Structure 1
Amino acid sequence: MLIVLSGPSGVGKGTVRQAMLADDFRDFQYSVSMTTRKPRPGEQDGVDYYFRTKEQFEAEIAAGQMLEYAKYVDNYYGTPLKYVNKTLDSGRDVLLEIEVNGAMQVREKCPDGVFIFLTPPDLMELKHRLIGRGTDSEDVINKRVKQAAQEIKMMENYDYAVVNDEVPKACKRIERIIESEHLRVPRVIDKYRNMVN
C-alpha cells in the first residue's frame, strides 16, 4: 500500500515520519525524496533526502524517473520512481513524505494510495515552528506561511486530515488510519476469492 503523508512546510512531516520509523511495530518502508535544496544541519544524503544539483534533478525528470516532483520556494522536491515500485512489488507498504503539489501528482498516478494531510493546530503555531528551526530568513518564513495557507485549502483532495498538535498523538492517529486501510474490502477481497475458489 502506498501511504502519502503531506502538508504545509513546517507542519512537522519529517518529525512525525522519524517518530513513526523509530517504532519497530510499524512495518513500512520510507521512500527517501530527492531535493535540490541545501542540507540542514544534521541531515544526511540518502537518509533524509537525496541531495542533488538542479541539473541532476532535471536529468531525472527528463528520463521519466520521478513518480512526482514539484518546485517549492525555488527548490525541486520529488520521489524517485524506481525505488517505490521495487518496494511495493516486494509486498511492503511505502511511506512518502512529500509536498502538497507532489501529492496531487501521485494522486493522479496512484488513486488507490492512502493520502493523509498533516495540519498545524493553527497558522501562528506553524510560523513559530518555522522560526524555531532557525534555518530560514524572515522573508522565507513569511513566504512559507503564505504558501501554507494556500496548501491547507487543498486538504479536500486527501482522504484524511491529522492535526500535529503533539507528535506521539499524530503518529497514533496515522497508525490507526493505516491499520483500517489494510482492512478495507477492496484491499483483501482477492485473498478471500482465492480461498473460496
Structure 2
Amino acid sequence: MVGIPIADLIVSRETYERLKHYEALVRKWSVKINLVSKSTLGNIWERHIVDSLQVCELAEHPTNWVDIGSGGGFPGVVAAIVAAERAPDCKVTLVESDHRKCVFLRTAIRECGVNAVVLSERIEEIPSLGAEVLSARALADLTSLLGFAERHLHSDGVALFSKGIQWKKEVDNARSHWQFDLESTKSWTEPEAVILKIKGVTRV
C-alpha cells in the first residue's frame, strides 16, 4: 500500500483520512467553540495538524500518553490517531477543564474511531497520571508546565512542549526553579518555534 506524504512523514491512507475528518470536525465546531485561534482557522492542517504530527515523531513509542490542557485536541487527538496504527496498545488521556471542549474531544475520538479518554478536570487537582509522554501546546509558561510534569510524568518519561519565539527566555526562567535535560527541535511549521523534549525534571 502506498502511503501519503505529509511534511517529512509518510502515513497510511487510513491515518490520513482520520486526520482529514478530524480537521473537518475542528472547522465545524470552531463556529461555536474557540478551538483554535481565528488567525489560524483557515490553516488548520499546517499550523495545528502537521505541528502535532511532528510532536508525535519525537515521542518514544509510549503506552501511556497524557495531553494536558488539550483544548481542541492538539496534539492529543492527533497522537491518538497516529497511535491507532503505530501503537494500538497506547492509551491516550486528554485533560481539559472546559466542558464544551470536552464534548468536542469525545465527539472527535468517537468519530475518528481511536483509543483515548477525556478527563474533564483541572490538571493540578487530579492524581498523578504516570505519563510516559506528557504533551502540552499553548497552555502555560515553561516554569508552570514543569510543575505539571513533576506531578504527572513518570520518572523515565519525556515531556514534549511546543513553544514559540520566546522559548529561550522561558527556558532561562525555568532553570531558576527546575533542573531538567533539554533538547530543542525546530518546528516544521513556524520558523522561530520549537518543540522542547524534556526529561529528568526535579526542583532546584
Same fold (TM over 0.5): no
Output the TM-score relative to the length of structure 2.
0.32
Question: Which has the larger share of helix?
Answer: 1
Output the TM-score relative to the length of structure 1.
0.33
Identify which of structures 1 and 2 has the higher relative contact order when contacts are C-alpha pairs closer than 8 Å and 6+ apart: 1
Q: Which of structures 1 and 2 has the bigger CA Rg?
A: 1
